[in-house]
Amino acid sequence: MCSPASRKCLCCNDMFHPDARNHRHQQFCAKDACRKASKAARQARWLAKPENRDYFRGSSNCERVRQWRLANSGYSRRKTAARSVALQDVLNPQSVENEPPAQSCTPSPLQDDLLLQPALIVGLIAVMTGHDVQDDIATTVRLYINRGRDILRMVPGGPLVPPP
């Protein structure tokens, strides 16, 4: 198909090339003001026909619209399910009150081991130092705690605390 010839817009009087698919009917260019003028002209032509003059008036129109709404009941509802929330997870509301933890009849083996940690540490220190008396173990524990604090406060390149 050959390209359509230039045509003068009925609104702005500028020359334009009509769309190849509609070149026989297109009389307005693609500018926003011209498109609005084209729509106004189409509506005026439609309303000028005798069968369309009372299309939007009277009880028959109300009945026609009511029947259409019954047949197309979901047309005006927004489609909320199709929307997705970008970069956010949907958060379920949580209760503000603190609920007490559920009591279990059988304690977990891991909980048993955690309850025995102080005894494990005391036994480990007793084996490492050879002390069986609590006062001697307490003195050793204080030395280890102070040594650990010194290590955690140590600055790279600073003095090293000698072992006990």
The tens digit of pLDDT for each residue in 67-121 reads: 998 998 888 776 665 565 566 667 777 766 776 666 666 655 655 555 667 777 7
Question: What does the pLDDT read at residue 1?
Answer: 47
* Same domain (yes/no): 63, 118: no
Residue 64 forms part of a structural domain = yes
**Domain around 135:** 109-153
Residue 128 forms part of a structural domain = yes
Which residues, other chains included, contact 34 with Cβ-Cβ below 8 Å and sequence gap of 6+? 9, 11, 12, 28
Q: Find out whether 19 and 26 touch, Cβ atoms under 8 Å.
A: yes
Residue 164 forms part of a structural domain = no
The residue with greater pLDDT, 94 or 23, is 23
Task: Count up the domains in the chain and report the number.
Answer: 2
* Same domain (yes/no): 116, 64: no
Of the CA atoms within 13 Å of residue 127, those in its CB half-sphere come to 6
Residue 83 forms part of a structural domain = no
Could you give the CA distance from residue 151 to residue 46 in angstroms, rounded to a whole number? 91
* Same domain (yes/no): 11, 67: yes
Could you give the CA distance from residue 144 to residue 155 in angstroms, rounded to a whole number? 19
Residue 141 forms part of a structural domain = yes
Question: What does the pLDDT read at residue 145?
Answer: 82
* Same domain (yes/no): 11, 64: yes
Residue 146 forms part of a structural domain = yes
* Same domain (yes/no): 12, 61: yes
Residue 36 forms part of a structural domain = yes
Residue that the structure tokens 């019954």 belong to: 70
Could you give the CA distance from residue 121 to residue 137 in angstroms, rounded to a whole number? 10
Residue 139 forms part of a structural domain = yes
N- to C-terminal Cα distance for the chain?
A: 99
